[in-house]
Amino acid sequence: MTQKTDNLPHVVHIIDELPPDGAERLLVDVLRHRSAAFRFSVVCLIRGGELEEELRRIGVPVVILGRTGRFDLGLLFRLTGWLRSQHASVVHTHLFTADAWGRAAAVLAGVRAIFTTVHSTNEWKGSLHRSVDRLLSRFSTRVIACSDEVREVLRNRDYLPSERVVAIPNGIDLVRFQGVTPGNLLADLGISYDGCLLGVIGRLHPAKGHEDLIPVLSRIRDEGSKFHCLFVGDGELRPQLEDMTRHYGLESHITFTGQRRDVPRILAALDILVMPSRWEGLPMTLLEAMAMGKAVLATAVGGIPGVIQNDDSGVLVPPQDQSALYSRLKQLMGNADLRARYGSRARDTVHARFSAARTSAAYEDIYRAALGIAA
């Protein structure tokens, strides 16, 4: 990618910021597998983040516009002016703030092709947010759902125009998960335990279902099972979850690691990834754990059932069903052979269907179609 790129169509990805979360990780992995047919930039509306330097290392420039407040109307004009000056051919937005500001600016700048990826079923959105989405979908070349299940939600619940909504599954950079070992992870975290190592990886947010798991872990502890559980990530729910952990007396069984940059190493250490989500899109952590051959226990929400075949490549339970979560977690904790079988099938599934290279190629195919460029 050292060739001169000034004359190539310019694809601009717009996102709020760049913490090491799912949508942001997807963006980095997709751009790592980009072709030489386009030139790419990333615009952050609010701030950069931990993944900013990773993008720069792979040759993708990052521009930070620095929104000064929720109603910073100047941001719209700065972004519009930047898109014009940089001759953006394609704008591709991610997450609600960037979806709203980015698509509005793209329309004002006269950008030919406008895309947005919807990364979740977004149960949090109220009528106002969904009205904004419906309005802006009329100006979008395509709205990209991260799974078939999310596509159907956008069509049938949010009433987006069916002909504009397409599904392109998330993918991961499989190379990141080859030959990874945990090393001294547990010693680094100050953890010593017997039994199974469990992990929940993601924002500490109501969507992720930590509140449903903590009482289940208490019950398993009371029955004498030995385990430790890592809550990896950070977020607004952390104080409440720490209070719950103390309430149930689980301080010696649950470790809050905060945000980590070594998720592959953490996954390598786990016996079971637990994903008790209340709503989801197609979680990157799910794909990452499966790529590493880990047993996964997840709720059947969003795009998860499109990836995990229950009792074959993992275990699915209904959301917010603590009884089902308890019984299937106990089963997995007590059967290493079953965990290994599920993990092997999970690895095969991800390698066959969910690589970032496939996602990147699919994105670029729809850019070409919108711009009238032959493949």
Backbone Cα Rg of the chain: 21
Q: Which two tokens stand for residue 275?
A: 């994903």
In the three-class reduction of DSSP (H, G, I as helix; E, B as strand; rest coil), residue 327 is classed as helix
In the three-class reduction of DSSP (H, G, I as helix; E, B as strand; rest coil), residue 314 is classed as strand
Beta strands in 242-370 (DSSP E): 254-258, 272-275, 295-299, 315-317
pTM of the model: 0.84
Separation CA 290–CA 348 (nearest Å)? 8
* CA count, 13 A, side-chain hemisphere, 2: 0
Separation CA 85–CA 119 (nearest Å)? 29
Separation CA 212–CA 138 (nearest Å)? 38
Separation CA 358–CA 351 (nearest Å)? 11
First to last CA, the chain: 18
Nearest-CA neighbor of 13 among 67, 56, 49, 60? 60
Q: Which two tokens stand for residue 264?
A: 């592959």
Helices (H), 86-184: 96-109, 127-137, 148-156
- Residue 247: CB atoms within 10 A of its CB come to 11
Q: Could you tell me which residues are beta bridge partners of residue 295?
A: 272
Q: Which two tokens stand for residue 119?
A: 């990364």
Per-residue confidence in pLDDT tens, the chain, 375 aa:
444 567 899 999 999 999 988 899 999 999 999 999 999 999 999 999 999 999 999 999 999 999 888 778 899 999 999 999 999 999 999 999 999 999 999 999 999 999 999 998 877 788 888 898 899 999 999 999 999 999 999 999 999 999 999 999 999 999 989 889 999 999 999 998 889 999 999 999 999 999 999 999 999 999 999 999 999 999 999 999 999 999 999 999 999 999 998 999 999 999 999 999 999 989 999 999 999 999 999 999 999 999 999 999 999 999 999 999 999 999 999 999 999 999 999 999 999 999 999 999 999 999 999 999 987
CB 105 within 8 A of CB 83: yes
Q: Which two tokens stand for residue 10?
A: 């310019």
